[in-house]
Amino acid sequence: MSTSLIFYGTSAAIPSLNRGFSCIGISDGNNGSVLFDCGDGALHNIMKFGLDVNSIKGIALSHYHSDHLSGLTQVIETMGIRKRETQLPVFGPPGLKEYFSTVQKITNVASKRNFELRITEVEPGRIFRVGDYPVESFKMDHTIPCNGYRVTVSNNKILSYTGDTMPCEALKDLGNNADVLVHEATFLHKDLERSVPPKHSTVLQAASVAKESGAKKLILTHVSDVNETQELMMKEAKPEFPNVTVAYDGYRSQI
């Protein structure tokens, strides 16, 4: 059975009229979905593109910048309203328990929920399960701790997701022979100097990672509409790695 990847949010941190903040889902069509990242407004696109919020079997967060995180409480609140009863596992780098306990204390999110929220902090190098999928975490190079995730899906194919990162050695292992590499591409290479302080990647750098790691397909996300268009991104990436796509909200791909 094939496994589907859907992008619920593809924007970089600068708000966009055309893109929601980072959120992707994996589904095999039978056993619900799992999410990787859950940026602000993710719930809107989750509903818009046909995912039942109560079918989400787990959520893994790459890091705690708001464009990857702040939709989480909205999703949990809606699960409570819709009478979810099954446990929800949520994974992320160290700090997740403190973050959510503070949010819970201040907002009393889903206070009457009938399901257990199981929070697990994940160090780089750990192997764990999100829903039905084994996942290995990798240390990315960003301004705060950030995990990249390598997911083995039900048909033994590999999805690799970087979260946010500048080029680093761990990307070679993360993307090693992956069937699909989802890599952030916040800048064009002409803006390389601008990418360094916030520790993001350029389109060309993402394409080079795909080539060097032996990935089969590259999907670019975390797109800045202010600086980049799909045409310019493809023009930069294709000479380095031809099998590349620029994701948009609602984009689906088989893994």
Tell me the domains of the chain and their CATH numbers.
4-254 (3.60.15.10)
pLDDT for the residue numbered 15: 86
State the Cα–Cα distance between residues 128 and 125, nearest whole angstrom: 10
User: pLDDT-based confidence at 32, cuts 50/70/90?
Assistant: confident
Q: Amino acid identity of 241? A: F
pLDDT, tens digit (0-9, with 9 covering 90-100), for 55-113: 999 999 999 999 999 999 999 999 999 999 999 999 999 999 999 999 989 998 878 89
Out of 22-31, 165-174, 208-217, least confident range? 22-31
pLDDT digits (tens, 9 = 90+) for 102-161: 998 999 887 889 999 999 999 999 999 999 899 999 999 999 999 999 999 977 999 999
CA distance 246 to 248: 7
The whole-number pLDDT of residue 1 equals: 64
- Mapping DSSP to helix (H, G, I), strand (E, B) and coil, where does residue 9 land? strand
- Cα separation, 115 vs 19, in Å, equals 31
Query: Whose structure tokens read 């999907």?
Result: 219
Exposure string for 51-75, b = 16+ CB within 10 A, e = fewer: bebbebbbbbbbbbbebbbbbbbbb
Alpha helices in 18-82 (DSSP H): 42-48, 66-69, 72-81
Is the separation of the CB atoms in 220 and 246 below 8 Å?
A: yes
pTM: 0.95
CA separation, residue 151 to residues 101, 175, 179 (Å)? 28, 10, 10
Burial label, 119 (beta-carbon count in 10 A; 0-12, 13-18, 19+): middle
223-245 average pLDDT score: 91
| Structure token pair of residue 179 | 């069937």
Q: What is the DSSP-derived secondary structure letter of residue 190?
A: G
